[in-house]
Chains A and B, each alone.
Chain A
Amino acid sequence: EPEVTQTPSHQVTQMGQEVILRCVPISNHLYFYWYRQILGQKVEFLVSFYNNEISEKSEIFDDQFSVERPDGSNFTLKIRSTKLEDSAMYFCASGGVHYDNEQFFGPGTRLTVL
């Protein structure tokens, strides 16, 4: 069964460093998302991506964040200068050909900023 994959599973970085989180969505999906979950809290939406551009973003998704789909299969989230409060689990999700299809989540990348 097709699934969303994410790498790395765990990333440890120093405050102020740039990190890139990688995702490979399900191959025929058209909608892509990033969410984050701070430990013990609910899942929060960051950004959605459709037709090679951002379709929606939350207040969390400030200028430090960017997304890319560089090669038609990968979907990346870049944090330019990490802060301690960026420590969280980051989930990539993808959805099918219709906007109301269910979103399938990847296993997540746990980001720890020291």
Chain B
Amino acid sequence: AQKITQTQPGMFVQEKEAVTLDCTYDTSDPSYGLFWYKQPSSGEMIFLIYQGSYDQQNATEGRYSLNFQKARKSANLVISASQLGDSAMYFCAMRVGYSTLTFGKGTMLLVSP
């Protein structure tokens, strides 16, 4: 069975600084995908970034990058130059093969001025 672990219930960062949100996963299947979603206080789920298990390069999308360490089974999200609007809940999720998404418990990020 797949498992996603996010060990940081909350993180604080100052505006313009970088922050890393941790995510570790567990699966025995060699083919999987890792996703990060942002959930602001309004409740919607916003897709941020995707990393496939066979991708050679770490995924990047604007200020978001995914630090993918396959041997350690970690897929940490790095947000560079934090903005006040980045304050939200962040969920790491995994899909194995044709299955659907399994989510972690989330990390609440608060960005202060």
Q: Which residues of A contact B42 (CB under 8 A)?
A: 107
Contact yes or no, A100 B45, CB < 8 A: no
B80 at the interface (CB under 8 A from A): no
Most buried by B among A100, A107, A108: A100
B12 at the interface (CB under 8 A from A): no
Q: How many A-B residue pairs have CB under 8 A?
A: 50
Contact of B43 (CB < 8 Å), options: A35, A56, A89 = A89
Contact yes or no, B44 A107, CB < 8 A: yes
Instruction: Tally A residues with Cβ within 8 Å of B.
Output: 23
| Chain A at the B interface: SS class | strand
Contact yes or no, A100 B101, CB < 8 A: no
Contact yes or no, B100 A33, CB < 8 A: yes
Most buried by A among B35, B100, B102, B105: B100
B50 at the interface (CB under 8 A from A): yes
Q: Which residues of B contact A100 (CB under 8 A)?
A: 33, 52, 95
Instruction: Give residues in A with beta carbon < 8 Å to B.
Output: 33, 35, 41-45, 48, 55-56, 89, 91, 93, 99-100, 102-108, 110
Instruction: Give residues in B with beta carbon < 8 Å to A.
Output: 33, 35, 37, 42-47, 50, 52, 91, 93, 95, 98-106
